[in-house]
Amino acid sequence: MNPSNGRDILLIEPPFYRLFKESYSLHRYPLSLGYLAGAIEKNTDWNVQVLNADFQPDPERMKVGVLGAEFETYLDNLRQMKGRAWEELRSTLAEQKPRVVGISAKSQNFASALQVAKLVKEADPETIVILGGPHPSMVGADVLEHPEVDISVVGEGEQTIVELLDAIADGKDLAGIEGIIYRKDGRIVQTPRRELIADLDSLGFPHETAARVLINYDQYPVEAFANVFATRGCPHSCFFCGSREIWSRKVRFRSPENVIEEIKSLKQLGVDSIHFDDDTFGVNRKYLDSLCGAIVEQCPDLKWSCETHVKLVDDRTISQMKQAGCQRVQVGIESGSDTMLTKIRKGITIEEARDACRTIKKHGIDLEVFFIVGFPEETEETLRETVAAIKRIPCDNVVFSIFTPYPGTEAFEFCREHGLVGDEFDVSLYNHQSPANSFCVNIQPAAFKAMSQKLAKMVDRQNSRRRAKRITSLRTFKRIRELGFRKSFKKCINLLIGKM
């Protein structure tokens, strides 16, 4: 340790999108780092700063297929640590000289997180590197195989980071801190897993400390802070998802009063539209009733969006959400094949998915749906069924992904057992739009690559047409409203059909 550095900790979101192209951006304040920063500021005397190294202030819109097209650039920037994102990281480390660096890692940016850790050690070998986030929680002690990582945090980190910093400041042994993996005398030590936080209301609001801790805060648009967690946890057990390894299948709820308090605080910043980041919004009817009722009563002009499950969609629920200001809903359908939906344990049929989409659209809510292709047991027939479903599903936007086996998930173990991934699996090569992805038992890699690329282009064209149609419809509606009763009914009709 270097005592001259004092009690300074820098929390970092590694670059990812910016490695594909400098004009791409993670254009938001990462909630995980916001929660950690709030806990550190509230409960310790450490000075905390946050750097989202994947942010730049004037981003370009990304299309579905782009990450694949720019994949070689990504690999080059990752491995050579080239580009502005790395330059900014080096500069920040030199300026901040932190005693501790905490890095948040998902599987898709884990390779980048390790590169960040290497930069930290190059700047000062005595700086303590702590790695947290979904990937370390899912792979456990494997993270400590990388010498640039000193400590790994497993599970929720808000309480763990406070105890860690107290121990580091006082030079205490780490053995009594739950939820960590670290080295001691040349061996790896894993402490018991920490219990999940029982009272989510005890956590601060991420945006409250942002102005003090977030580097380049003044370059962020207000929308970057418009994400809110009402719950943690998901009751479902999808074959490919690792959420339950982090949050568990037990859903914990913030009180509606606490959520409303955060929303009101965001509105004071100028936020008028939020997104609920819950894995599955609306899992409890009574809670949904209370939250929607509170929004109607106390934040009547709020607009919001969320992600929900097909099984939770019905007229009463969607009507209630609409009345409370919901404007957009995301739904994970994943496959157009009932066979595949059963194998991945999605718990729905494609017809149920279509009915849910029709219900959402019937209430005038924008709908975005998620599809994934290339599951391990995918066949050319199930893939064709997904193509057909994407063409027919009533929605405003399709988010298309290629199956990626994340280490620590059940899907990853299936792929390992069937020879689809080996011991030298390199997470840097795979993301949801990576051209390297091919994990199908029944489809040859070349054939899958051709089919997935064709589908990606189809989805981009379809989304572009839908977007253009919505823009045209909005402009037409605005023009008709401007005309009002000053023009004849015939002219209004002509405007609608494009004759004016």
The domain boundary, picked from 143, 168, 190, lies at: 190
Query: Does residue 177 sit in the same domain as residue 283?
Result: no
Query: Tell me, what's the pLDDT at 474?
Result: 57
- pLDDT 10s digits, 242-290: 777 777 778 999 999 999 999 999 999 999 999 999 999 999 999 999 9
Given a contact cutoff of 8 angstroms between Cβ atoms, the answer to whether 204 and 38 are in contact is yes
Instruction: Provide the pLDDT for residue 199.
Output: 96
Same domain, 325 and 261: yes
380-392 and 350-362 helices cross at what angle (nearest 10)? 10
| 88 part of a folded domain | yes
Q: Could you tell me where the DSSP H helices lie in 179-334?
A: 210-213, 243-246, 256-269, 285-298, 315-323
Which residue, 163, 190, 217, sits at the end of a domain?
190
Residue 159: pLDDT over 60? yes
Q: How far apart are the first and last CA of the chain?
A: 73
Q: Are residues 237 and 383 both part of a single domain?
A: yes
325-345 average pLDDT score: 97
Q: How far is CA 336 from CA 224, 351, 353, 375, 378, in A?
A: 33, 9, 9, 12, 11
Q: Are residues 132 and 255 in the same domain?
A: no
Q: Is 237 found in the same domain as 180?
A: no
Q: Are 110 and 49 in a shared domain?
A: yes
- Enter the pTM of the model: 0.91
Q: Find the mean pLDDT for residues 33-43.
A: 98
CATH number of the CATH domain containing 73? 3.40.50.280
Domain that holds residue 42: 3-190
Q: Are residues 127 and 239 in the same domain?
A: no
**Residue with the larger pLDDT of the pair 29 and 6:** 29
- Is residue 425 domain-resident? yes
Does residue 293 share a domain with residue 160? no
Q: Does one domain contain both 186 and 262?
A: no
Confidence of residue 496 (pLDDT cuts 50, 70, 90): very low
Q: How many structural domains is the chain composed of? A: 2
Question: Of residues 421 and 66, which shows the higher confidence score?
Answer: 421
In a domain, 198, yes or no: no
d(CA 178, CA 191): 5
**Residue 499 domain-assigned?**
no
Domain contains 450: yes
Is 177 within a domain?
Answer: yes
Considering Cα of 61, then 13, then 117, then 176, what sign does the dihedral take?
negative
Query: Is 93:100 a contact under the CB 8 Å cutoff?
Result: no
pLDDT in the model for residue 456 = 87
Whose tokens are 């809510």? That residue is 365
Q: What is the mean pLDDT of residues 422-448?
A: 90
Strand partners, 12: 51, 103
Answer yes or no: is 207 within a domain: no
User: Is the same domain home to 171 and 118?
Assistant: yes
Tell me, yes or no, whether 452 lies in a domain.
yes
Same domain, 393 and 261: yes
Statement to judge: residues 379 and 450 lie in one domain: yes
- Specify the range with the lowest mean pLDDT, choosing from 207-221, 333-347, 381-395, 447-461: 447-461
pLDDT band (50, 70, 90) for residue 499: very low
- pLDDT tens for each residue of 449-490: 999 989 988 998 988 888 888 777 656 555 555 555 445 545
Q: What is the CATH number of the domain that holds 259?
A: 3.20.20.70
